[in-house]
Structure 1
Amino acid sequence: MCGRYALYTDYAMILERFHIEESAVGEGEYSPSYNIAPSQKVLAIVNDGTKNRLGYLKWGLVPPWAKDQKIGYKMINARAETAAEKPSFRHAFKKKRCLIIADAFYEWQRTDEGKIPMLAKLKSGKPFAFAGLWETWQSPEGETVNTCTILTTQANRVMGTIHDRMPVMLSEEGEKLWLDPEQDPQVLEELLKPFDSEEMETFEVSDAVNSPKHNGPELIRKVG
């Protein structure tokens, strides 16, 4: 699964790296976050068929038919193996795919001494994108809420020592294919694979990350 991650790349670099042509997020509205948690707003990219648009989505997908947006707390992740068929996700899988930008993510390793927080990132230090789905929900009072979920898949070799699942991380070419609103479903399915282990590294970090109240660069530093 993926329940916590970090994004601290410079705003200008995000625009360049992900080929952003339109943004609803001004430079002054963006700030690094080292402990992004469910229900928070997350930086995401959608494509309207002509250009990549940057904006914020609430983490925890709420289907349009939901009666209560609290259902989003249970839908922070969607299994890649079943997302195309599940009622909660199949419409978004066909029509509302997005990229969720990250620099690193956290997973907790079970040991005899308890759970140890581990950080996973690219060896290159570059930002990357999770494969995501998004939806628009309207409350009975007329409030519009745009929400999202992160797809997960089987863990690769490096993540398998920590957990049996990991978020779907896309290559740069995969990002383009995932955002293409007319993309063939079979091509999309091929993208939902474990990321190349050789390009990743993991290490133990401070247990301060256990609480979303803590949010600073010390959380991404190696300990132990």
Structure 2
Amino acid sequence: MTSTPLHRYHRLMCGRFTQAYTWAEVERFLSVIGPARNLRPRYNIAPTTQIDVLRTGDAGRELVPMRWGLVPSWWKRPLKELPATFNARAETVAEKPMFRSAFSARRCIIPASGFYEWTGAPGAKTPHYFSAPDGRPLAFAGLWERWRDPETQEPVDSATIIVGPANAWMSAYHYRMPVTLDWSDAGAWLAGERPGDLLCSPPEDALQEWVVSPRVNRSGVGDDDPRLIERSLP
């Protein structure tokens, strides 16, 4: 995998996040079906790579891999011509052609251990890591789609993270933030009739923050290293 330039994704929240949880945590918070399996921890996930996604399948909730960057079923051109779709704006997700069908019928949850944001002037950005104070996985509101490659006819499942305005606490770091659901609202988001009611900013005490190493500025190198989320020394 090639490295991803920092400037390309840091302005569009959420452009980097982590998935590092145990199967026991998955069962507890996600209520998934299926046998236990090993989960690969990843500490610097960038768009267009594979992520874990929770969706409702024929037999119940399932955790499946998908491409991060939603590809609508009607897309006819090569993937390299697809605009950035790893985020969808909460304010317009129900109307935008790229996302409205998935919002109506294919909502999902992207479990996350945390996510990154950068502050500072261009060329001297400081990376910050955000996670739940109690360490539990975050539940990002998401959408998924199934697209068929016109050349190979292979199906591709893909997903996007919905983002909305930052709450007062988060606005010190960025003006947007992922829509983070309470786990008790998971069922309502996945199958409820009023999903728009859940597209709101989380409470101001829902996250904690610390500065991390600028190593996270480059993805695709050492992404399985847990030291990426360690507090950076002053």
- Under a length normalisation based on structure 2, what TM-score does the superposition of the two structures give? 0.87
Name 1:83's counterpart in structure 2.
93
Which secondary structure state, in structure 1, belongs to the residue aligned with residue 169 of structure 2?
A: helix
The answer to whether the Cα contact below 8 Å between 1:60 and 1:73 also exists between their aligned partners in 2 is no
**1:158 lines up with 2:169 in the alignment:** yes
**1:42 lines up with 2:51 in the alignment:** yes
Query: Residue 104 of structure 1 aligns to which amino acid in structure 2?
Result: G
State the Cα distance separating 1:218 from its structure 2 match: 0.8
The answer to whether the Cα contact below 8 Å between 2:163 and 2:179 also exists between their aligned partners in 1 is yes
Query: Residue 100 of structure 2 aligns to which amino acid in structure 1?
Result: R
Of the three residues 115, 118, 126, the one matched with 1:116 is: 126
Name 1:21's counterpart in structure 2.
33
2: CA distance, partners of 1:146 / 1:70: 16
State the Cα distance separating 1:203 from its structure 2 match: 1.2
Name 1:66's counterpart in structure 2.
75
Of the three residues 200, 220, 223, the one matched with 2:229 is: 220
- The 1:61–1:122 alpha-carbon spacing in structure 2 relative to 1, beyond 3 Å, is same
Of the three residues 8, 16, 27, the one matched with 1:4 is: 16
Of the three residues 177, 183, 187, the one matched with 1:172 is: 183
Of the three residues 141, 146, 157, the one matched with 1:146 is: 157
Q: Which has the higher strand share?
A: 1
Of the three residues 186, 193, 203, the one matched with 1:196 is: 203
Name 1:135's counterpart in structure 2.
145
1: CA distance, partners of 2:74 / 2:122: 43
The answer to whether the Cα contact below 8 Å between 2:29 and 2:183 also exists between their aligned partners in 1 is no
- Under a length normalisation based on structure 1, what TM-score does the superposition of the two structures give? 0.91
Query: Residue 77 of structure 1 aligns to which amino acid in structure 2?
Result: N
Q: C-alpha offsets along residues 139-183 of structure 1, whole Å, 9 cap, x if unaligned?
A: 122111000100000011221101100111100122121111xx2
- Alignment RMSD (CA, Å): 1.7
The aligned length equals 217
Name 2:114's counterpart in structure 1.
104
Query: Residue 133 of structure 2 aligns to which amino acid in structure 1?
Result: K
2: CA distance, partners of 1:113 / 1:204: 17
Which secondary structure state, in structure 2, belongs to the residue aligned with residue 15 of structure 1?
A: helix
% identical aligned pairs: 36
2: CA distance, partners of 1:71 / 1:11: 36
Which structure 1 segments of 5+ residues have no match? none
